[in-house]
Chain A
């Protein structure tokens, strides 16, 4: 892989014309939030490095994952690789799991160590992400924790992204939702009234952020998957306390522990569905150690009304595990597009083995670990419909669906509380739309679909070459 950490990836982006550097002084508010909102809206959205923020020493980088071009470069692909091709390339890399990490002694993240007089603002250029957030948030951190009942189990160690609200010089709030792996760790620690050691890792290899927001199984390691995606081991080192494995090349690591059996007000926070989640009582984390690289770069993420960076970050990594879980039992499944609001909306393409097959595949998706709480609207299309092509999906909806037979509601099922339509929060009514062509014993009116004319391939190539020539000569 062409890069080993965030710094090297930024060099890749720069070489590919996907990085903008701002040298002029900017204000923490509202400039950084506005830059994060605007960058993914620019065509082929670049990452943005902001060097000079009033009152702060260090720089901020935003929108590192915020375009399909950056996403392709993260996967080591040419930047113009189409989304569907990125999906199937990712599937190939997934098969290399696990590639085990290596542990290094001279970890760059240990260049500077702070254990006294900790003030997060001295190291991190914190800023308000959305106007009515309850404070300054770390929105792109990787949080590492271990299973307190099986502390030596590497695979049960979790590296996940959860929102972090800064509440003091050495105090932050965290949001472990009950279906997240860190909540499993926390529950076990709190049952024994023990603090849960955690490491909050900032400014990471982009593949690590990608895996930390991927819904993999409880006993699977994000680090082993990141190695598989890179085709080489991730470099890790040990935390100063708590025996955690942390990325050796992160920019900043905050070490601390979740205070057991205590909840304090946290939020609101502008969340990925494009709305604020309300204030709730959530755990807090005491930070006791900071390690960081010299001149650390603070990477954060703006999330707003979709699409923003988070929608690129959580697109194919939500789709692929769902695809694999379906494919295992239903080999007819061709692809899964779960790019819409972290899989709240999903499109599956599949060949139907028998009547009602599309519905059955949708119900399986709704019983996967991620699909169960998150997915609310599942559309199933034929195997020849590209689920990443919304025009084709709309064709299937308009010409395949018999609303009396093919639309199913499942009331009062598990839901995603951050979806503002989840009511009560955490419950959904699921919607399945089976837009596949009925097969026996189901019956449909006889329909003959239109074919592509002969020689279409020849003329497609001809037209492409011709139009490129026309554009070059302009």
Chain B
């Protein structure tokens, strides 16, 4: 399985539904995106995921830090 947001293959099942195996939730270990198997294809499908919200895995480490990590005392 491929992460719809960052196209990483580093995806795991986060959980199954507590009742009736109604759905599964997946988590991308690269960009922390999570989604449910019953969501629309615009959320599940890497081809259809809105390009404005796509994440480039190479840029994750350069994102702003909130809050900044302080100096050790």
Contact = CB atoms under 8 A, between A and B. Distances in A.
B2 interface: no
Contact of B53 (A128, A176, A193, A268): A268
Q: Tell me whether chain B's interface is mostly helix, strand or loop, or mixed.
A: loop
B34 A265 contact: no
Given A55-B20, A281-B64, A261 B69 contact: yes
A56 to B, nearest CB: 6
A278 B60 CA distance: 12
A279 B33 CA distance: 11
B34 A166 contact: yes
A276 B50 CA distance: 14
B15 to A, nearest CB: 5
Contacts of B17: 54-56, 121
Contact of A56 (B18, B60, B64, B69): B18
B53 A132 contact: yes
A121 B63 contact: no
Contacts of B69: 190, 261, 263
Given A135-B34, A266-B32, A168 B66 contact: no
A311 B50 CA distance: 28
B65 A121 contact: no
A400 interface: no
Contact of B18 (A121, A178, A264): A121
B11 interface: no
Interface string A251-282: 00000000001011110100000001011111
Contacts of B33: 134-135
B66 A281 contact: yes
Given A27-B38, A121-B18, A280-B66, A167 B53 contact: no
Interface in B1-29: 5, 14-15, 17-20, 22-23, 25, 27
B36 A263 contact: no
Contacts of B64: 280-281, 425
Interface string B38-73: 111011000000101101000011011111111111
A191 B60 CA distance: 24
A122 B25 CA distance: 12
Given A167-B34, A266-B32, A55 B67 contact: no
Contacts of A281: 60-61, 63-66
Interface in A80-123: 119, 121-122
Contacts of B40: 29-30
Given A168-B14, A178-B67, A281-B64, A55 B32 contact: no
B32 A173 contact: yes
Interface string A405-420: 0000000000000000
Contact of A191 (B32, B38, B50, B73): B73
B70 A191 contact: yes
Contact of A169 (B14, B31, B38, B60): B14
A55 B72 contact: no
Nearest to B17: A55
B63 A55 contact: no
Contacts of A165: 32
B32 A265 contact: yes
A3 interface: no
A133 to B, nearest CB: 9
Interface centre among B18, B27, B35, B67 (most CB of A within 10 A): B67
A11 interface: no
Contact of B22 (A55, A134, A190, A266): A55
B63 A265 contact: yes
A186 interface: yes
A54 B36 CA distance: 12
Nearest to A261: B69
A449 B61 CA distance: 61
Closest 5 CB pairs of A and B: A55-B17, A55-B22, A135-B34, A191-B73, A121-B15
24 contacts: A27-B38, A29-B38, A55-B22, A56-B17, A121-B18, A131-B42, A134-B32, A135-B32, A135-B34, A167-B27, A168-B14, A168-B27, A177-B66, A183-B67, A190-B69, A192-B72, A263-B65, A265-B31, A265-B60, A276-B53, A279-B63, A280-B66, A282-B65, A282-B66
Given A54-B19, A128-B36, A263-B69, 8 more contacts: A29-B38, A29-B40, A30-B40, A54-B23, A136-B34, A193-B72, A281-B63, A281-B66
Interface of B: 5, 14-15, 17-20, 22-23, 25, 27, 31-36, 38-40, 42-43, 50, 52-53, 55, 60-61, 63-73
